[in-house]
Chains A and B, each alone.
Chain A
Amino acid sequence: MEQNHTEHVDHFDPVASKIGMWLFIFTEILLFGGLFIVYSVYRYKHPVEFHLAHQELDVTIGLINTIILLVSSMTVAMSITALQTGNKKLTLIFIAVTILLALVFLVNKYFEWGAKIHHDIYPGSEFLMSLSKGDMLFFGLYFFMTGLHAIHIIVGVALLGVVFAKVKNGSVNQNRFSLLENGGLYWHLVDLIWIFLFPLFYLIH
């Protein structure tokens, strides 16, 4: 509670911003949580269709993207280690690698979605409308959930970009690294959600 003695409202409290970040993560968890409820209800109601529809998805691309995200999670964690030990250059490299991996993930996603759309599978398409209800729901959920996840990746890239710039100009440094820590937390959250999306969409048996 020592912070309270500081001069003005402009004080800096790393613990406060960390709690704030965690609270924000909770809201994200429940945002996706609502979607996971929808997913599980419809999968429960249409088990066969969900199983057949999932075979349209490419497990290999899913697996590659999973590993990309896991590695990027590690690099962002390492960037914090690097900053805490005072190695600014290494920090920047790790953040850059994370951003790069995120972009690779998005490119993969682009090709994956592109192939689906090329086969006339996208929400509201005539072909999809001619399929069974379970198929429509599966692909609706697939596009909506992975799409929302991709938006989070894009936001994460932007956030990490800001952190990169701030580490570079020194306003995020060894003694004041809350922003990097919180950016990292956000990035892990994106990974966390994907950990569940992957088996739920690509590995239905």
Chain B
Amino acid sequence: MTGNFTTHRMPSYLEQQGKYTGIRAWILSTDHKRIALLYLYSQLFFFFAGVVMGIFMKLELIAPGQQIMGPQTYNALFTVHGLTMIFLFIIPGLAASFGNFMIPIMIGAKDVAFPKLNLFSWYLFILGAIIILVGIFTGDGPPDTGWTFYAPYSLKTNTNVVLTVFGAFVLGFSSILTGLNFIVTIHRMRAPGMGFFRMPLFIWSLYGTAWIQLLATPVVGITFLMVVADRLLHIGFFDPAQGGDPILYQHLFWIYSHPAVYIMILPAMGAITEIITTFSHRTVFGYKAIAMSSLAIAFVGYLVWGHHMFTSGMSETARLVFSFLTFLVAIPSAIKVFNWTATMYKGSISLEPPFWWAMAFIFIFMIGGLTGLVLGSVSTDVHVTDTMFVVAHFHYIVFGGAGLAFFAALHYWYPKMFGKMYNKKVANRGLLLLFIGFNLLYFPMFILGMMGMPRRYYDYLPEFATPNLISTIGSWVLGTALVIVVVNLLRAKKGTPEEIDDPWGGRTLEWKIQSPPWIENFEEIPTVEHEPYELTEK
């Protein structure tokens, strides 16, 4: 079973004794694999914090009228839920954890180009999180603006916006530096023979993502600084009383935050591509099309921000331009889905847990994508904008897309990262329950939105009661499922190590080394002689 490159086993990166011991061996380590795990654990921590907040919000919405919290608490809760999930979980997303772990291994390198900068990025990430936390618990209370910080309300509210916004600014820096590191790594550190068009598609998607991180994040960074300046120095960039234009804030905010959606979803698509290819035991269909569609999404995704602003008072021309560009983005996304399907066609598919996760991803992501067209077209958008429909749509995309792919990737690479295997049966059952809970939770929101229930209110009219009740029950199912899934993985971590260098029959470089990998990944830098995903005799 271990008949690969590995002839004798080296101490893994988990056991490696370096200069430091104990916790310092982790928080001072510049090894990309250890940093990846630092990200993974902190992201999962923030994810569960966000889940708890979400469950409380659903509990408030179980029936009309005030249940467990008043309007101010609810406003703070959806703001902090959004901030946590967006900035602390899903924007670092698959890139910071799995990207960090896999980029050097998949391209045949020993580490990223700037290992110290990599660790520094994680520190910035934690620093930003701490600043946001301090902002939540000090001053005049947590911000109640929503995670978008729309002006002029974000300039007027008495809550602690300045610190939170500054925290988000610091997180942006962390994201930029990670992107920078990845681009240089991919340009300079590929193993001999690993041309750009021999890279695994996960790497291609991370390459596109890194460019978005690099080019979009500064815009929101400066916008956040302007909000801080408006609040502290009363410059009035976005304050209509001083001539500022709040719609300009929305432009600048979405110039980043729309591409940010692709920061979340592109690596997810990359990971799904890897999983589908591996478990179909076929060469990926349309390698170049998938690689190029990643770049196309990155590029066109940069130009469609205005579809978040159809009802903001933007000019008619701009609305049409943005609507048109939005539909263009659907093309490269569809290319990916078609290529996944074509890859599976006539493959000999092994139905392992990661594959089931990938299937759940495609199903849910398709619903999210198709409902996106409703929002992308001006004439339908104006009816459902700012309703629960929007909430349902982006949870299908962000949680159902990027979030599920995160767990898919976790199940796929888990044996590689820890050298142990989880209980597959429990993993499958957890996924099934999660799938049911997810749809119970979010699908009624589409209906509520069509019925006209606005989002971001702690209370609603009695006629919305039934779907809301179903949705709240769904949140309990989903919460239970998440606990099952994670406990299953945690229990597996305590299990005995197995020699599972390649449990799935994967063909990319990470499956050719031992699990968990040695501190320097490769004893000898491999020379790549095959096209990616080529089936070779073992």
Distance in Å from the Cβ of B103 to the closest Cβ of chain A?
13
B243 touches A136 (CB 8 A): yes
Q: Check A199 for interface membership: any CB of B closer than 8 A.
A: no
CB-nearest residue of chain B to A45: B245
* A34→B218 contact, CB < 8 A: yes
Does B188 touch A at the CB level, under 8 Å? yes
The residues in A between 11 and 70 inclusive whose CB is less than 8 angstroms from any CB of B are: 13, 15-16, 19-20, 23-24, 26-28, 30-35, 37-38, 41-42, 45-46
Nearest 9 CB-CB pairings of A with B: A133-B243, A140-B235, A124-B234, A31-B218, A34-B222, A9-B111, A30-B218, A123-B233, A16-B188
Contact A27 B217 (CB under 8 A): yes
CB distance from A42 to the nearest CB of B (A): 7
Whether A198 sits at the interface, judged by CB under 8 Å, is: no
A5 located at the interface, meaning its Cβ lies under 8 Å from any Cβ of chain B in the complex? yes
Q: How far is the CA of A24 from the CA of B242 in the complex (A)?
A: 34
Asked whether any CB of chain A lies closer than 8 Å to the CB of B450, the reply is: no
Residues of A within 8 A of B221 (CB): 31, 34
The answer to the question of A143 belonging to the interface, with a C-beta cut-off of 8 Å to chain B, is yes
15 residue pairs bridging A and B, Cβ less than 8 Å apart: A4-B109, A4-B191, A16-B189, A27-B180, A27-B218, A31-B218, A31-B219, A34-B218, A34-B219, A38-B226, A46-B243, A123-B233, A124-B234, A136-B242, A140-B237
Q: Would you call A127 an interface residue if the criterion is a C-beta within 8 Å of the partner chain's C-beta atoms? A: no
- Given A4-B525, A35-B222, output 11 extra A-B contacts at Cβ < 8 Å: A4-B108, A8-B520, A16-B188, A19-B184, A23-B179, A23-B183, A23-B184, A30-B215, A34-B223, A136-B242, A144-B226
List B contacts of A8 (CB < 8 A): 110, 520
Q: Does any Cβ of B come within 8 Å of A184's Cβ?
A: no
Residues of A within 8 A of B255 (CB): 34
Given B179, B191, B242, which contacts A137 in the complex, CB threshold below 8 Å? Answer: B242
Kindly report which residue of chain A lies nearest to residue B117, judged by CB atoms: A20
A134 to B219, CA, bound (A): 23
Q: What is the CB-to-nearest-CB distance from B187 to chain A, in angstroms, rounded to a whole number? A: 6
Q: How far is the CA of A16 from the CA of B114 in the complex (A)?
A: 9
Q: Are B236 and A140 in contact (CB under 8 A)?
A: yes
A26's contact among B114, B214, B237, by CB below 8 Å, is which? Answer: B214
Please tell me if the beta carbons of A137 and B109 are within 8 angstroms of each other in the complex. no
> How many pairs of A and B residues are in contact by the CB < 8 Å rule?
119
For window 237-282 of B, CB contacts with A under 8 Å fall at 237, 242-245, 248, 251-252, 255
Contact bitstring A94-121, B, C-beta under 8 A = 1, else 0 = 0000000000000000000000000000
Return the chain A residue nearest B252 by Cβ.
A34
Q: Does A175 contact B (CB under 8 A)?
A: no
Residues from chain B with a CB closer than 8 A to the CB of A30 are: 215-216, 218-219
Answer yes or no: B229 CB below 8 A from chain A CBs.
yes
Residues in chain A within 8 A of chain B (CB atoms): 1, 3-5, 8-9, 13, 15-16, 19-20, 23-24, 26-28, 30-35, 37-38, 41-42, 45-46, 123-124, 129, 132-134, 136-137, 140-141, 143-144
| Residues in chain B near residue A5, CB distance under 8 A | 525
Q: List the B side residues contacting A133 at CB < 8 Å.
A: 236, 242-243
Selected contact of A144 from candidates B30, B176, B229, CB within 8 Å: B229
Q: Is B57 an interface residue (CB 8 A)?
A: no
Q: Is B507 an interface residue (CB 8 A)?
A: no
List chain A residues, Cβ under 8 A from B235.
Answer: 123-124, 136, 140, 143-144
Q: How far is the CB of A137 from chain B (nearest CB, A)?
A: 5
Known contacts A4-B191, A45-B245, A133-B242; A9/B520 CB under 8 A? yes
Indicate if the CB atoms of B218 and A28 lie closer than 8 Å.
yes
Closest residue of A by beta carbon distance from B107: A4
Contact present for A31 and B242 (CB under 8 Å): no
A30 to B212, CA, bound (A): 12
Residue B115 lies at the interface, judged by CB distance under 8 Å to chain A: yes
> A9–B237 contact, CB under 8 A?
no
